[in-house]
Structure 1
Amino acid sequence: MRWRWQQIFYLAITMMAFLGCTTNEARILNLAPEASSRETLEQLPPGTLLEDLNLGGLQLQKAQEEIRSWSKDKLEENLYLVYNETEILLTPSELGIALDFERTWEEVQKNLGQRSTSILAFDYLKANQTLQERLSDFTRSAVDATYKIENDQFKITPAISGETVDIDAFLDELTNASLASLPKRILLPRVELPAAMTTEALEALAFNGVIGEYTTQYNLNDKNRSANLLEAAKKMDKTVLKPGDTFSFNDTIGPRTAETGFKDAYIVINNEYVKGIGGGICQVSSTLYNAALLANLTIVERHPHAVVVAYIPLGQDATVNYPNLDLKLRNDTQSYLYLRTKVEAGKLTIKIYGKKTGAKVRFEKQIEKELNYHTVRRIDPDLLPGAVVQQQNGSKGFIMKTWKVVTDKEGKETKQLLSRDTYAPTHRILKIGAD
């Protein structure tokens, strides 16, 4: 419209000159070109283009209709997306690409009589869903690293990374594109999908040797006690603890009943050795306790015996009684722990595998007090008058302190009080025949 106003302006000047009007009188007529505004335009001036769409001379509403129709056609043209040398045919609209009409129309109004560029809008969610569906046969999911234990060795099957299209990078490439400049053939950028459990992460968790080992001896001639010891050791064998796991002896071994495979053997009740089901199991828990101490593991729960036991040094035993007295260990290391038990030739050995640190553990002890035993005489009507039979040997009791001393690979020592245990004396018991 500007050109029309210019013609009118020159015509008015000519007329005023002809009529003898002054310059001031011309100002009064207010016929300057600035009197027009874009808001009053009824049609677009010649030379107004939206990329390859000529809008010059069109009324505003008609121009808008032309833009919408033109963009619709453009958005239905074929695009060839290339991924892993495979071509996928899609239209821009299927990819969630649309014309941002409001911003594009603003550009047209800013550039009257000139060429404007269209502005695109992107639906990221639709693009992602469409590409995931169309590329499902071409993308590859990641495979986690796994492990198995063979011959007490930690063996890893490496992870395999996955691959998929990088949706964000793809759409970022098109951020500055317009409908006219939108490529007809687009290489889809690929991105690697790392496994949730990488090979490196699993290698960091792998154990690499024995970090704690302890052996105790038992009497093979005590068949029932030996059988209980063997059964408990079998139930615990090949246990794996992840970092942060807590091992419960009672939960692992379960109730001590005939139905669960245990037999009658001597146990300690009220400071006396009596027959009871599951006798011998405490030797397994005590052996494990010492292996755990030597591995420098965290002891969550441990209880001493009421009396001294012969198979383990004072202060290093751990009694259990289902379900109230337990031995619990927590894996506070940065690797898997693996328990192995071996029972043969009167020896029970427990090994704990983990990540070697070079640390060494030893024990220091102090007997605070010795407790003397007493002789208890009990009448036994089954004995002849005056006969005396010793039912149980007497043994002293003790109050004992035990420390764990850890020397790290640099030679630095730390000393920790493990326990202050009281062991009652085992009284000497004599059976005497009635007079």
Structure 2
Amino acid sequence: MGRRWERIFCLAITLMAFLGCTTNEARLLNLAPETSSRETLDQLPPGTFLEDLDLGGIQLQEAQEKVRSWSKDKLEENLYLVYNETEILLTPVELGITLDFEKTWEEIQRNTGQRSTSILTLDYLKANQTLQEKLSDLTRSAVDATFKIENDQFKITPASSGEAIDVDAILNELKEASVTTLPHRIPLTRVELPAATTTEALEALAFNGVIGEYTTQYNVQDKNRSANLLEAAKKMDKTVLKPGDTFSFNDTIGPRTAETGFKDAYIVINNEYVKGIGGGICQVSSTLYNAALLANLSIVERHPHAVVVAYIPIGQDATVNYPNLDLKLLNDTQSYVYLRTKAEAGKLTIKIYGKKTGAKVRFEKEIEKELNYHTVRRIDPDLLPGAVVQQQNGSKGFIMKTWKIVTDAKGKETKQLLSRDTYAPTHRILKIGAD
């Protein structure tokens, strides 16, 4: 029994001695990692580089200042843009190139003991503005093609291309660079600057002849009516419509007043011819309407007269009244449209110029119904008793259908109902002397 306790006691002493030794060694072993950790937090280990900048063994704050100073010096070095014998001097800073310090420092910390690459940012707006200013002497602007109309001919002044330095190529070379890989000399390349409006584009839009023409006759002895007709025709003359434009007769001619140059002449009101400002203008709109139909332009708005008028075939007239009744035409062709008016010796002619397509237009009509006129008798105290004077002839009214038939250059026909118009009869008016 005594020997047994002796062995137990010796074993306990041996275990305690072993545990004591291990504890001391552990304290000694833990000392080195704690010291190494403090050094890591305070300075960068040897072998830490930012490109060609050695940061090994340097305290962190000093390393940061060193990175900033190093990048500042590098980004203020001269950079030359070279074209033939021309050299243009500037610096990366002028182009808006700066060091992205936060991302660069993160890169250094991820690669301690190794070589890291700097990260730059490029201000594209500032770079573009600076380059445009610096390269302005090497830039030639493009000149758009233009046209003018002389003697009813479409004449084009050709476009010319411009030249400029390829700024995008410069920016592409700079945007992927780091501080030490920024180029010091950049050869410049030129790019062509096409005109916004090319010669070919204008040639495609040019008119090459008359595509619609119509003539009506007027009485030159009716001075006021003729003056109104001439004034309206003059206001409309030489109108140019580009593809997609809509022509408004009322917008072009404007209000019919004495102040705008119009006079009193006969107009139709309530089936009677009476004096009114601007009489005769409807002959201009009706002549234009027919020229537009023959030119195969689209009609946006058109109104028939209340009664049949003598100067144009029934179903082919177009009345206007400012501002509520208008004649509107759409240039739905692929070229410019040009209007010419000519009024002389009792003839009003309107020509529409455009690009010829070989299409031809004709009309077909059908009288759906005839409407008889009425005789109206009015007492006139200035006449002798029983005397009868005819003040206005009576004329029939009609309900009329009109079609437009278009034959294209290949002979294909298209038939379109233009209108179904109702024309009231004009009263036969008799003046009778009182008994």
Question: How high is the TM-score relative to the length of structure 1?
Answer: 0.83
Q: Deviations over 1:158-182 (max 9, x none)?
A: 3344444443321211234332232
Q: Matches of 1:366 and 1:39 in 2, distance apart?
A: 108
Structure-2 change in CA distance of 1:287 and 1:79 (3 Å): same
RMSD value, Cα: 3.1
Q: Quote the residue 2:20 is aligned against.
A: none
User: Aligned partners of 1:314, 1:423: CA distance in 2, in Å?
Assistant: 9
- One-letter identity of the residue aligned with 1:285: S
Q: Which amino acid aligns with 1:296?
A: N
What residue is the counterpart of 1:353 in the other structure?
353
Change in Cα spacing, 1:66 to 1:380, as seen in structure 2 (3 Å) is closer
For 2:303, the aligned partner's letter is: H
Q: Is the 8 A contact 1:127 1:167 kept in 2?
A: no
Q: Give 1:332-351 correspondences, 5 Å limit.
A: 332-351=332-351
C-alpha distance in 1 between matches for 2:84 and 2:256: 62
- 2:233 aligned with 1:240: no
1:106 deviates by 5.1
- Conserved in 2, the CA contact under 8 Å of 1:397 and 1:422? yes
- After superposition, the Cα gap between the structure-2 partners of 1:31 and 1:301, relative to the gap in structure 1 and judged at 3 Å, is same
8 Å contact 2:44–2:57 — kept in the other structure?
yes
Tell me what 2:73 maps to: 73
Does residue 393 (structure 1) correspond to residue 393 (structure 2)? The answer is yes
Asked whether the equivalents of residues 170 and 189 of structure 1 are also in contact (C-alpha less than 8 Å), the reply is no
1:304 alignment partner in structure 2: 304
Note the C-alpha offset of 1:401.
0.6
Q: CA deviation at 1:103?
A: 4.3
**What amino acid sits opposite 2:319 in the alignment?**
T
* Structure 1 residues 60 and 348: CA distance shift in structure 2, 3 A: same
Q: Tell me, in whole angstroms, the C-alpha distance in 2 between the residues paired with 1:382 and 1:161.
A: 80
Residues 1:367 and 1:178: Cα distance change in structure 2 (over 3 Å): same
1:110 Cα deviation from its structure 2 partner: 5.9
Residue 91 (structure 1) aligned with residue 77 (structure 2): no
Aligned in 2, Cα 1:259/1:61: closer, same or farther, shift over 3 Å? closer
What is the aligned partner in structure 1 of residue 281 from structure 2?
281
- Decide whether aligned partners of structure 1 residues 48 and 299 sit closer, same or farther in structure 2, where only a CA change above 3 A counts: same
How far off is 1:109 after superposition? Answer: 5.3
Q: 2:232 matched to 1:202?
A: no
- 1:56/1:409 CA distance change after superposition, 3 Å: same
Amino acid at match of 1:379: I
Q: CA deviation at 1:108?
A: 4.7
What's the CA shift for 1:84? 7.1
Amino acid at match of 2:272: E
How many pairs are equivalent? Answer: 410
Moved more, 90-99 or 59-68: 59-68
Alignment correspondent of 1:413: 413
Distance 1:258 1:118, change over 3 A: closer
Specify the alignment match of 1:21 in structure 2: none
AA aligned to 2:419 is: S
Q: Structure 1 stretch 258-267 or stretch 375-384: which is displaced more?
A: 375-384
Give the aligned partner of residue 324 of structure 1.
324
**Runs of 5+ in structure 1 lacking a partner?**
1-24
Alpha-carbon distance in structure 1 between the residues aligned to 2:170 and 2:428: 88
Q: How does 1:8-407 map to 2 (within 5 A)?
A: 40=40, 44=44, 48-83=48-83, 86-105=86-105, 108=108, 115-407=115-407
Q: Measure how far apart 1:47 and its partner are.
A: 5.0
Quote the offset at 1:151 in angstroms.
1.1
Q: Percent identity?
A: 89
Question: Conserved in 2, the CA contact under 8 Å of 1:213 and 1:350?
Answer: yes
The offset of 1:295, in angstroms, is: 1.6
- In structure 2, how many angstroms separate the alpha carbons of the residues matched to 1:212 and 1:49? 82
3-state DSSP of counterpart to 1:70: helix
- 1:96, 1:127 within 8 Å by CA — same for their partners in 2? yes
TM-score, length-scaled by structure 2 = 0.83
8 A Cα contact 2:138 2:165, kept in partner: no
Distance 1:111 1:432, change over 3 A: closer
SS at match of 2:226: helix
Counterpart CA distance in 2 for 1:38 and 1:286 is 100
1:330 alignment partner AA: L
Cα displacement (A) at 1:251: 2.0
* Inter-CA distance 341–385: structure 2 relative to 1 (3 Å threshold): same
| Structure 2 counterpart of 1:340, one-letter code | R
Q: Distance in 1 between matches of 2:342 and 2:236?
A: 11
2:260 is paired with a residue whose SS is: coil
Q: Structure 2: how far apart are the matches of 1:275 and 1:412?
A: 47
Q: Distance in 1 between matches of 2:189 and 2:396?
A: 80
